[in-house]
Structure 1
Amino acid sequence: MSRSNFKRFSSGSKHPDRKSRFPQKSDSSSRGPRRSPPALSSKKRTTLPQLRLLLVWGVLIGAMIGLGVKLYQLQIVQAPELQKKARSQQTVNLRPYIPRRSIIDSQGNVLATDRLVHILYVHPVQFKITKKEVAIKLSSILKDKTPQQLIKQFEQRDTGIPIARDLTEGQATRIDKLRLDGVELNESYARFYPQEKMVSEIIGYVDSDRNGQAGIERSQEKLLERDLLSLYVRRTALGEIVPAFLPKNLLKSNDLRVQLTLDMRIQRAARAALRQQLDKFNAKRGAVIIMDSTDGSLISLVCEPTFDPNQYYKSRIELFKNWTVTDLYEPGSTFKPLNVALALTAGVIQANTIIHDSGSVQVDGWNIYNATKTGHGEINIAEILQTSSNVAMVHMMRRLGRNDYYQRLQQLQINRKTGIDLPGEVGGYLKSEEIFTKRGIEVATASFGQGLSLTPIKLVQLHGALANGGKLVTPHLVRGLVDVDGHLHWKPKHKVTQIMSSNVSQQVVEMMETVVTDGSGKASQILGYRIGGKTGTAQKAGPGGGYLPNVKITSFVAILPVDNPRYVVMTVIDEPKGSNTYGSTVAAPIAKKVIEALISLKGIPPSYSSQYN
């Protein structure tokens, strides 16, 4: 290498294969001194970290704001929904079986209650043996089912055939021991009526869906249904209930029962007396009602024919209604004491007023006769009731103006319901004022209890006003809710209306006593007791107007004791057969037997009156 080449290499770079850090001008273009690169200012060096800090700070603030918004969304906006989801995952809802309240009578006898029953189902598709073999095994336990009947049931469908719905514990145990495939026993609660037919017209029944369909079971549905409890309890992740979270008093149930004013002892006596008379006269139907007039409580209410509420599905549907509150009839002569009370209140008669009974009277071209077709001459008001004179009643009520008479009938609230706590009650029927006052025949027929209609329970309510001093009380069966010790926790309130003076009502009751001692009610006499009464034999109205020939409804109403009136007893026999069928011969004898039971069981003391000594 030449010296000039070495020198050039030395001055350009320390290494021949490496470029200079800063480009230099060639020797040929400039020979001046080198200039250093410009340095970064201090302002630029501090700006960059600040920007980075602001960026990080902004991200953090944004994240915090986002978290805050999300927190608000979860804790405030969506809180109810999320809480609901959490409870559904962490808790379980228990709905224990809540039986209907039991129903008892005034003496504590159970009339209706819930009990455990066994229901037998078969699934023929699952049988491992023949249908005949299954039928033979089951029929040996089900005494009311033959193998042939069971086989016929098996052929209805392949599965889910109900065979028996009310198996005893012993039958269920024996069937379970058979271990038959396709035979299933289910346990369920059902309503049970231990008195069977004895109070069915009052209690009614509950269907398979636990809904009341008649009687108290229907009208008092809300009272009989206990509050349905929902028990929310905690559970573990495995679904196990945590005992510590069960509510307090979980096993303490509401044991209040619905108590009725009914007395089963008197109910049995009344039904026995009624059945005997219905059979004797081959009657269509009958009823007995006993009411305590002091408050309207019903001690007995019997209707025949009736049904078994334990097997309601085997009965005719018309038997489910209580016809003493659903059916209207013309009361006939049993309404006469009420007309006497209206006339006394109006002042058109006195107790000693004399009225001439000629045996017939003509009104608007219509001839009206007494039932005996004979007259009784000059008779007082008590004798009018004794002889049940239609003619004398027409003359008596004519003393009132037609409008006045109509208004006084309205005060009896004939066309209003009594308010009894049974379903299906209907109001009575009284013609409009325009029709009633237009013709004299309307006044005439109403005077002896025809041309107007009411229910048997309404007539009992009206006679109750005669017994209790003129107050219209509400007939009722529900006494209230009682505990196992008989303490009353709740009772219903009933309306009371004064419709006549106590003086007038007592006068009428004393007149009714002469009907029992000297008139058509002698069949109800009981030695030592003062009883007021009134018989009735009324024609039955036909569907197209007019009256049905040779068809009648007989009745008798009694009030006792006369010296301190309290109880009203009414007996009704519908369509008795035979020639000697009147209120005095058909209905009054029933009342006597019922009153005898009432006196004995209620401890009614005898009346010490000279006329009974």
Structure 2
Amino acid sequence: MQKSPSRTKFRNWRNLEFNRQRKFSKSAVPKSGNPKNQTQASSLKSRLLIVWAILFAAGLGLAFNLYRLQIMEGEKLTKRARSQQMVNLRPFMPRRPVVDRNQTILALDRPVYTLYAHPKLFNQSKEEVAQKLAPILNRDVNKLIKIFESKPSGIVVANGIGENIADRLISFRLNGLEFIQKYSRLYPQDDLVANVVGYVNLDRRGQAGVEYSQEKLLERSTQTISLSRAGNGALMPDHAPEGFLHFDDLKLQITIDSRLQRSIRTVLKDQVNRFQAKRGAVIVMDATDGSLLAMVSYPTYNANEYSKADIALFRNWTVADLYEPGSTFKPLNVAIALENGVIKPDDIFDDPGTIKVADRTIKNAEINSFRRINIAQILQQSSNVGMVKIIQRMKPTLYYNWLEKLGLGQKVDTDLPFEVRGRLKSQEKFLGSTIEPATASFGQGFSLTPLQLVQLHGALANGGKLVTPHVVKGLIDSQDKIHYSPSLPAPRQIFSSTTTQKVIDMMETVVSKGSGKASQIKGYSIAGKTGTAQKASPNGGYIPGARITSFVGIVPAEAPRYVVLAIVDEPKGANAYGGTVAAPIVKSVMEVLIPLEKIPPNQKVTGKK
């Protein structure tokens, strides 16, 4: 019997399936005794251990790093984070203004602007923008157009634009213009007080005058503040101290009177030019306290344009240069002799016109012989011979000690910068030759500054006290209340008031009868002394033909208070003397000073009772 095809197919499929399952079961269940299978299992286990070891080590590393960051370096990192989150700012503070005794502004900070142009942002044509800017900036239209065409952005058009001009330009509402603000020092009086006030450089540091010597008073104190910063770098003023941008309204007031200063400048300039002199100076001091009402030098410079000036003009030569005072020192020598009792006011001296000292012959300057003259006449005629005879009555050692007592060879210690020390020969050299005391008797052989001579004559005017010449009054507010006054050395008594009054009386005759007649003012008594000295050479000896003329006046003579010194350096002409060059300057100064300080006329001179 034949088998059917379907039964045969079923049996073959069952055998194939049975064989497949049997083969699978054999491969899935390894035999324990197979070395190959054991190696594979061991390798798998090792790999698992390595992975776990790596993970464990990484966890230990993370834990140690967390410990280091949080515990070991936590404080340091906290500070670093805070420094990144905070920014320290020191706000800009303008310098304090400088004003004179009458509140006239002499120096102040003002906002100015630098104008940048960005032509690519213009909303009008370059020609239209140039036509609007040119008349305000005082520039040529075509030149401005060329500037705008030079590059598309970042063009500096003008520096130092004032607020009024900047406001006009801003009112045009032109796109592409940028104004960068900064502060600039302005000196409204130009060259009027440049030798006293000085100037500041581009770094806003004082370089001369009180701008230099009073830097600490002029710089407003500012505190450094810390502000937090947002993630985008923007400042967050939440923790800013209240009012940190506000500053005081204090001003530095000086003792100079601009009205007097301006009048003196005109007179001094005219006289220097008239005699074709090298330079000139005038100092006015209140002898009661040493305050300087005026200090004028010519030539001078404009503090607003200091970069154009001769650098030599930055030094105020009345405090920075030495000269031999000549006959203007004679009243001080008379005071020394009177104080030591070696002369009396009515003593008479014989003056033949010349006197021989050692191997030198000393002569009078203008008139050969005065014959018999008293002390007042010695000053009136400026007799060199008479002065030599007066000093010869003193022991040289005593005389030298008195010159040192007056402060010769020392500084005045004023509040103006660059002061130099006077020169007085050593005691050994001074006492080693009889010619040294003789030449010193008429103001030569030693040197001092013009300001020191004013200080010494101030002692004659105030009853014998050496005061400190100064220009700084102090810091004042908008209500004129003084917040700070500098402490000055106490006045030092060097002469008795009796001695100084005798010398002042003699000096009054110099103006009324002697070489100082050119300084007379009707109705007022003035004490004075002329001076015409040879000019010392830096290489020793004297410059041939060069002289320095001066006149010192004291007003009013009946109640001495104000000292006025005028000096003209190297005037030209045969008639160039202290009485002809400097005395007229002092007269003009006093004619302005008298009404300003309300000095009453002398009743004896006017005849009023």
Work out whether the TM-score is over 0.5: yes
Alignment of 1:55-454 (within 5 A): 73=72, 79=75, 81-120=76-115, 140-143=135-138, 164-172=158-166, 185-235=179-229, 242=236, 244-454=238-448
Do 2:396 and 2:437's aligned partners in 1 also have CA atoms closer than 8 Å? yes
Do 2:111 and 2:163's aligned partners in 1 also have CA atoms closer than 8 Å? no
The match for 2:584 among 589, 592, 605 is 589
Distance in structure 1 (CA, Å) of the matches to 2:140 and 2:603: 65
- Identify if the C-alpha distance between structure 1 residues 250 and 437 changes in structure 2 by more than 3 Å, giving closer, same or farther: same
User: In the TM superposition, what is the alpha-carbon distance from 1:157 to its structure 2 partner?
Assistant: 12
Distance in structure 1 (CA, Å) of the matches to 2:236 and 2:156: 39
Do 1:527 and 1:612's aligned partners in 2 also have CA atoms closer than 8 Å? no
Do 1:281 and 1:577's aligned partners in 2 also have CA atoms closer than 8 Å? yes
Distance in structure 1 (CA, Å) of the matches to 2:149 and 2:439: 64
Distance in structure 1 (CA, Å) of the matches to 2:486 and 2:123: 59
Per the alignment, residue 14 of structure 2 pairs with none
For structure 2, the residue ranges without an aligned partner over 5 or more in a row are 1-62
User: In the TM superposition, what is the alpha-carbon distance from 1:163 to its structure 2 partner?
Assistant: 5.9
For structure 1, the residue ranges without an aligned partner over 5 or more in a row are 1-63
Do 2:531 and 2:577's aligned partners in 1 also have CA atoms closer than 8 Å? yes
Per the alignment, residue 560 of structure 1 pairs with 555
Distance in structure 2 (CA, Å) of the matches to 1:340 and 1:152: 75
- Identify if the C-alpha distance between structure 1 residues 185 and 107 changes in structure 2 by more than 3 Å, giving closer, same or farther: same
Query: In structure 2, what residue type is equivalent to 1:585?
Result: T
| SS of alignment partner, residue 464 of structure 1 | helix
Query: In structure 2, what residue type is equivalent to 1:525?
Result: Q
Do 2:523 and 2:605's aligned partners in 1 also have CA atoms closer than 8 Å? no
Alignment of 1:474-493 (within 5 A): 474-493=468-487
- Identify if the C-alpha distance between structure 1 residues 178 and 515 changes in structure 2 by more than 3 Å, giving closer, same or farther: same
Per the alignment, residue 7 of structure 2 pairs with none
| SS of alignment partner, residue 389 of structure 2 | helix
Do 1:330 and 1:540's aligned partners in 2 also have CA atoms closer than 8 Å? yes
| SS of alignment partner, residue 413 of structure 2 | coil
Alignment of 1:454-603 (within 5 A): 454-495=448-489, 496-603=491-598
- Identify if the C-alpha distance between structure 1 residues 376 and 612 changes in structure 2 by more than 3 Å, giving closer, same or farther: farther
Distance in structure 1 (CA, Å) of the matches to 2:359 and 2:121: 81
Identify which range, 188-197 or 231-240, moves more after superposition: 231-240
- Identify if the C-alpha distance between structure 1 residues 169 and 67 changes in structure 2 by more than 3 Å, giving closer, same or farther: closer
- Identify if the C-alpha distance between structure 1 residues 364 and 153 changes in structure 2 by more than 3 Å, giving closer, same or farther: farther
Query: In structure 1, what residue type is equivalent to 2:338?
Result: L
| SS of alignment partner, residue 512 of structure 1 | helix
User: In the TM superposition, what is the alpha-carbon distance from 1:351 to its structure 2 partner?
Assistant: 1.1
- Identify if the C-alpha distance between structure 1 residues 147 and 252 changes in structure 2 by more than 3 Å, giving closer, same or farther: closer
Identify which range, 418-427 or 228-237, moves more after superposition: 228-237
| SS of alignment partner, residue 197 of structure 1 | coil
- Identify if the C-alpha distance between structure 1 residues 123 and 609 changes in structure 2 by more than 3 Å, giving closer, same or farther: same
Query: In structure 2, what residue type is equivalent to 1:300?
Result: A
Do 2:324 and 2:444's aligned partners in 1 also have CA atoms closer than 8 Å? yes
Per the alignment, residue 57 of structure 2 pairs with none
User: In the TM superposition, what is the alpha-carbon distance from 1:610 to its structure 2 partner?
Assistant: 5.5
User: In the TM superposition, what is the alpha-carbon distance from 1:166 to its structure 2 partner?
Assistant: 2.4
- Identify if the C-alpha distance between structure 1 residues 511 and 430 changes in structure 2 by more than 3 Å, giving closer, same or farther: same
- Identify if the C-alpha distance between structure 1 residues 174 and 386 changes in structure 2 by more than 3 Å, giving closer, same or farther: same
> Aligned-pair RMSD on alpha carbons?
3.3
| SS of alignment partner, residue 286 of structure 1 | strand
Residue 606 in 1 paired to residue 573 in 2? no
| SS of alignment partner, residue 603 of structure 2 | coil
1:337-359 Cα shifts (integer Å, max 9, x gaps) = 01111111121101111111111
Query: In structure 2, what residue type is equivalent to 1:586?
Result: V
User: In the TM superposition, what is the alpha-carbon distance from 1:248 to its structure 2 partner?
Assistant: 2.5
User: In the TM superposition, what is the alpha-carbon distance from 1:212 to its structure 2 partner?
Assistant: 0.7
Query: In structure 2, what residue type is equivalent to 1:489?
Result: H
User: In the TM superposition, what is the alpha-carbon distance from 1:233 to its structure 2 partner?
Assistant: 3.2
| SS of alignment partner, residue 382 of structure 1 | helix
1:407-449 Cα shifts (integer Å, max 9, x gaps) = 1111111111111111111011111111111111111111101
Query: In structure 1, what residue type is equivalent to 2:484?
Result: W
1:432-469 Cα shifts (integer Å, max 9, x gaps) = 11111111111111110111111100100111111111
| SS of alignment partner, residue 196 of structure 1 | coil
- Identify if the C-alpha distance between structure 1 residues 118 and 421 changes in structure 2 by more than 3 Å, giving closer, same or farther: same
User: In the TM superposition, what is the alpha-carbon distance from 1:556 to its structure 2 partner?
Assistant: 0.6
User: In the TM superposition, what is the alpha-carbon distance from 1:240 to its structure 2 partner?
Assistant: 5.4
Distance in structure 2 (CA, Å) of the matches to 1:165 and 1:266: 35
Query: In structure 2, what residue type is equivalent to 1:566?
Result: R
Distance in structure 2 (CA, Å) of the matches to 1:276 and 1:592: 14
User: In the TM superposition, what is the alpha-carbon distance from 1:273 to its structure 2 partner?
Assistant: 1.5
Do 1:537 and 1:555's aligned partners in 2 also have CA atoms closer than 8 Å? yes
Distance in structure 1 (CA, Å) of the matches to 2:500 and 2:506: 10
Distance in structure 1 (CA, Å) of the matches to 2:389 and 2:508: 23
1:479-510 Cα shifts (integer Å, max 9, x gaps) = 01111111111111111222222221221111
Number of equivalences: 545
User: In the TM superposition, what is the alpha-carbon distance from 1:93 to its structure 2 partner?
Assistant: 2.8
- Identify if the C-alpha distance between structure 1 residues 154 and 531 changes in structure 2 by more than 3 Å, giving closer, same or farther: farther
Do 2:524 and 2:605's aligned partners in 1 also have CA atoms closer than 8 Å? no
Distance in structure 2 (CA, Å) of the matches to 1:69 and 1:569: 79
Per the alignment, residue 41 of structure 1 pairs with none
| SS of alignment partner, residue 208 of structure 1 | coil
1:218-254 Cα shifts (integer Å, max 9, x gaps) = 1111111111222223455565555553312335422
Query: In structure 2, what residue type is equivalent to 1:305?
Result: P
User: In the TM superposition, what is the alpha-carbon distance from 1:565 to its structure 2 partner?
Assistant: 1.4
Distance in structure 1 (CA, Å) of the matches to 2:438 and 2:148: 67
User: In the TM superposition, what is the alpha-carbon distance from 1:164 to its structure 2 partner?
Assistant: 3.9
User: In the TM superposition, what is the alpha-carbon distance from 1:89 to its structure 2 partner?
Assistant: 3.9
Distance in structure 2 (CA, Å) of the matches to 1:572 and 1:160: 53
Do 2:93 and 2:247's aligned partners in 1 also have CA atoms closer than 8 Å? no
Distance in structure 2 (CA, Å) of the matches to 1:110 and 1:506: 39
- Identify if the C-alpha distance between structure 1 residues 368 and 101 changes in structure 2 by more than 3 Å, giving closer, same or farther: same
1:191-223 Cα shifts (integer Å, max 9, x gaps) = 011111111110110111101111111111111
